[in-house]
Every structure is written in structure tokens, then in C-alpha cells.
Structure 1
């Protein structure tokens, strides 16, 4: 029989599977990347038990819980737990504080001959651990910041480096007004948990530097920790320079062609282009005030025409017109302003290929 654990480092460094027996409403507010939600009690049962606890005390709440989860319903949950443990024999279970719910689940599984150790302190202790370690990592790790105008394919470079953290990947967002992706974004807590785990892993691997893409305080609706925002502004910079024509091509691929494939997987081929078009138009409308009324109207018309042609012929090439104008007249001035606020020294500057070679030679 394995012991219960409070070795949170090992749990997250090794991606140990976790069975979260909290109610779905708790799981949805915040959980861990390696956790599966198989609750002891559902949301409605939790609500009833909570009222009973306040009115009549703990034992009455326990009795009500046993009454609500019994017979076939108890067996159905037991079957799901047993199946999970068969698939994850080295896992652990947890509830909010490592108390009654996880202990009850552990006891029920033990009756069925299943060794199910739990995480001491539960979700609350693990969450506190991650937040504390996140701040330590941000303070300790030597970062380098990958900069470049929109369309330089910074994320593509990030994805090739073992010493890099893909912040936009963690946020499930491409990092601009046009960056929304089907499926939506994680909750703020889920984003923070995933970021903390990524930082802990980087520190454990002992890289001489950790590469991050230059980001503002928000990636979509996911908020970067204030300490990381400050670090990004001051750390050494590596800058990608690409021609406007090259950046138009990359933007076309990353914001029109690639997303269409993602929308097809999510919504099916018949709805994909319509859904993507609605999102692109909505993104254009979100920056209307900053573009100005006339410029917004012009770019929106170009986008609408490009979508009509693409729907009729499958050809996305007409999108280049609004992309070219948006990059040159909107995103480039915004980038210049942002760079004027950065303090870190420039350690290398070149094309995307040159930057990739520079990074590869430094970290062989």
C-alpha cells in the first residue's frame, strides 16, 4: 500500500495523474493540467449537504451524503473510480483540503481492494504551493524575451525550443484582438496553475536561460502575473526582423488558413468558414475605436469581400489586402510604442532564420 503524499514537487514535475473528487463546479473554477474530475458528490448534492452542515452540523451532513450517494448511484461512481485507477495505477486522489471527501473516497475504494493514496492538504495546499513557487521561479529564472512585429512567427520559434514556455499556448489564444481560438480559454486559475508548473519544470531542468515571447499584461482574458509582466519589460531581448511581405504571409497562415483547419475540426467543414468569418469580423469590430471609424469601415469591407471570395472559391489570397493594411497602419505603430517601454538590452537581432540559428547554437 502506498502512503499518502505531500510531495507536491514530484506530483507536478512528473505529471502524476490526479483524481479530483471535488464537485464539478469547484473543478471548473480551477484545477490542474494532470487532473480528472470524478466527484464524490455532484453540484446539487454538495449544495444540499452544505445547507445541512450549516443547520445541523457535520455528522448530519455526513449522514445526508451517505443517503444521497448509495445503491446504484454509489456503485456507478465506484465503477468510474476503479476504471480510473486501472488506467492510472500510480495516481493520487484529492478533494479541497484532503479531508472528508478524499478520505471517504479512499475508504470506499479500499473496500473494493483498490489502493488509492491521497494528496495531503488537497487542492488548497497544491494551489498555494504553485503560487508560491511561481513567484520564486519568476524571481530566480534568467529569462530572454523574444520580440518582433506581428507576423514574425515568434510563436513558431518558441515551439521549437526546449528552453521556452509558450505563454499563448497555455492561454489557448494567439495574443491579439484576432487571437481567439475555438474551444475558448482556460480559467484564470487553470492558466496560472499551468504556468506555474511550466516554470517549475524549467527551473528543475537548469537551462541557462528561459525563452518567453514578449507579451502584454493580457493574453486574451488570461492575465499574466504582475511580477512576470515586470520581468518581461526588463529582461534581455532577442528581436526578429522580417519584411512586411513575409509578415503578411505568416499572418495569413496563422490567422486565416491555420484557424480554418482548427474550426473544421471543432465545428465541421460546413460551419467552419462561417464561424471563422464571424470571429474575424468581430475582432475587427473590437478595435474599431482604435482604428478610427473610416479605417475600420475600409478594412471591414476588405475582410467581408475576402470572406465572400473564399467561400465561393476556397481561395484565401484576397485576405492579404486587409492584413497588409492592418499590420502597417495599426500593429506596427503599436509595436514601436511598446518597444519604447522595454528596458532589456538587445542580445541579438536578425531574421527568423538567423534568430533560430542563433538560439540553436547557444543551447546545443
Structure 2
């Protein structure tokens, strides 16, 4: 068997979605890791903590000795088995630790003793993270961006993903970017969001090419903050404004925030708990914008929402939600959007429905069939 060499070709790793085995402790992995990486640690959090104390007090050799004492016998066999399984499932992958030093080399050595030669990423997570940060800033400074804008409920994310070279910021943040925007699964950490964004930008540049389409977003997408430099570029970028009639917008909001969310909560928590959590999700989202709505309007909308939920619980129909959705669009989201659009420095270069925008984008990118 030809032995694969270690690599520092970070661009190739990310463009090819190369499987990555992260042997850092879970606490390090949870704080920040690379898209698609699998955590199978050499040491767990407690063991890493003890070795770290030993390193500070007695030096590297004693710390290594303690590490071997903590990870031996059945513990070592279990961790080696996890690595062997990964290597067998992903013969084209690589392993890494934080700096590409002791932990990754020791892991590779143990894997080699089991008869598998598996390469590592030189420089480890730290070097790959630095690469992504630098590449992201370079792309933000040099790429051409088009911003897909439009009122709430026009289906911007749906249209965005039909365009020639999209980067879905809401998908990366796992949040729809509004009071109602949270998903049933948690958002990534800020570091993981930045890592995913950088990799998505690399794919947009090297595998698709041309201007990058982004959805119009505020500084925060849920709890994930866009890089300041990207916000500045987006604010000045040309705007493509999506239109859709009110009835279609109400349908989209009901599908995304009522029908689909109920399905997601039910799949996650079961029918009974799922319904309760779904109901709490809707009511809590409305409550979060109470001050901006004003007390009287908030209470009116909450009453309509509660009636819609009661009707849905009784007969399964979500049609009762249309009333509060349309009122919220007309009296809250639309005035806010119109105000914000008037203050944007970017020029509107296209204004139309989904089909018109798709045709415009196709002609703007003649290499796209």
C-alpha cells in the first residue's frame, strides 16, 4: 500500500470536503472545529486538564508520562478502535490535533501499530483556522457581491439557492434571522459559524465562480455575528429586490414558521411535547417584539395566535394563522423593511419576482447553463 503523505494543502482539504479526524479533547472541539470533522479524542477533558497541570508544574516529559498512564489498557483500546473505524470508513482522510504536534503524532503512531498508515494535517487546527480567517478576509475584500433583498415572506432563501453562486448565511447560522427565526436545533458557536462561512466562500470562489449572492442580513443572524468587514461590503453592494404578492408571502410564512416548525418539533420531541414546544416557540417569538409592536397591538395579535393554535390543536388546520401573519407583515415587518431599504447605500439593479430574478441571474452569468 502506498503511504499517503502529511499535508499542509489546506485549500484542497476544504474544497474536497476531506474527512478529518479531530483528536483534541471534547471541550476544544465544542469551542471550535472544522466543517465535517469528527471528534475522537486522545484524551477526554479531565485527562487533558490533569496533563496540562502536570506540564506547567513538572515539564513536558512528566506530562507525557502522565498521559500514557491515564490512557492505557481498555481506555486506550477503546480510543484506538474509534480511530481504526474512522480510518477504515475514510481512507482518504487526515487526522489533526491543535498544532499538529504531540497528540496527532502519538495518535498516528498508535494507529500505525494497528497496521494502518494514516497521515496528519501539518500545523493542526490552529494553522487551518488561521488559513480560513485569512482567506475569508481576502475574499471579503476582493469578491463581487450581490445582495438579495426583499420583504419578509418573499422566500428570499428559496430564491437565493437557485442563483448561480449563493452563500446561504442563514443556513450556515442555522437561524432565519428574525424574532421567529430560531430552529429546533442549536446554532453553531461563533467560531464554527466563521469556519463554515470561510469554507462556503472558498467553494463559491474556486468551484462555482462569479459574483457571490448573499441574502440581506443584519449584523446578527440569531446569535451569530457577521464579520464587520463583510457587513460593510454588503451594505454598499448592489441590491436585487425580490417581490411576491401578499397572499404568497403569507403562505410561505405559514409553511416555514408554522407547518414545518411543528413537524420539526414533533420529530424531535414527540407529538405531545412537540406541540407544547412549538406553541411556546410561536408565542415567545411574538412576545420578544412586544415593545416594538406596542402593548395593545401585541395583545391583539397574541389573542389571534392563541385562537389559531387552539383551532390547529382541534382540527389540524393551520389556516387560522393567516390572520396574525398578514397583520404582522403589513403593520410591522413591511414598514421596517421600507425604512431600512430607503437608507441602504447600495443601488437596486434588479427588481422582480422569483422567475424574473432567476432569468436575470442566468443572463448575468452566461457560463451558467
- Give TM-score, length-normalised by structure 1: 0.97
Partner of 1:134: 136
* Contact preservation (8 Å) 1:233, 1:341: no
1-structure distance, mates of 2:314, 2:233? 48
The verdict on how the C-alpha distance between 1:290 and 1:337 changes in structure 2, with shifts beyond 3 A counting, is same
Shift of 1:300: 1.1
- Corresponding residue for 2:97? 95
**Paired position in structure 1 for 2:177:** 175
The equivalent of 2:307 in structure 1 is 305
Aligned to 1:52: 54
Q: Which residue of 1 aligns with 2:125?
A: 123
Aligned to 1:246: 248
2:43 is equivalent to residue 72 of structure 1: no
Report the Cα distance in structure 2 between the residues aligned to 1:159 and 1:262, rounded to whole angstroms. Answer: 21
2:337 to 332, 335, 345: 335
Q: In the TM superposition, what whole-angstrom CA distance separates every residue of 1:36-89 from its partner, at most 9, and x where no partner exists?
A: 000000001011111111111111111111001001110111011000000000
Q: 1:139 Cα deviation (Å)?
A: 1.1
SS in 1 for 2:170: helix
**Contiguous gaps of at least 5 residues in structure 1:** none
- Give matches, 1:248-327, under 5 Å: 248-327=250-329
| 1:206 CA displacement | 5.3
Aligned to 2:196: 194
Q: Quick one: structure 1 residues 162 and 352, their matched pair in 2 at CA, closer, same or farther if it must change by over 3 Å?
A: closer
User: What's 1:21 paired with?
Assistant: 23
Deviation above 6 Å: which 4+ runs of structure 1? none
Q: Contact 1:4 / 1:120 at 8 angstroms: preserved in 2?
A: yes
Structure 2's unaligned 5+ residue stretches are none
What CA distance in whole angstroms lies between the structure 1 residues aligned with 2:107 and 2:152? 50
3-state DSSP of counterpart to 1:5 = coil
Residues in 2 aligned to 1:103 and 1:60: alpha-carbon distance in whole angstroms: 18
Residue number in structure 1 paired with 2:63: 61
Counterpart contact for 1:142–1:209, Cα < 8 Å: yes
**C-alpha contact 1:98 1:123 (8 A) present in aligned 2:** yes
Alpha-carbon displacement from aligned partner over 1:109-153 (angstroms, at most 9, x marks no partner): 111111111111111110011001001111111111101000000
Provide the rounded CA distance (Å) in 1 between the counterparts of 2:163 and 2:75. Answer: 48
What does residue 234 of structure 1 align with?
236
Instruction: Report the alpha carbon displacement of residue 303 of structure 1 after superposing the two structures with TM.
Output: 1.0
Instruction: Output the CA distance in 1 between the equivalents of 2:275 and 2:304.
Output: 16
Deviation at 1:358, TM superposition (A): 2.2
- Normalised by the length of structure 2, the TM-score is 0.96
* Structure 1 residue corresponding to 2:36, chosen from 34, 37, 46: 34
- Would the alpha carbon gap of residues 180 and 206 (structure 1) be closer, same or farther in structure 2, given more than 3 Å must change? closer
| Alpha-carbon distance in 1 for matches of 2:22, 2:306 | 46
Deviations 1:283-313 (A, max 9, x none): 1111111111111111111111111111111
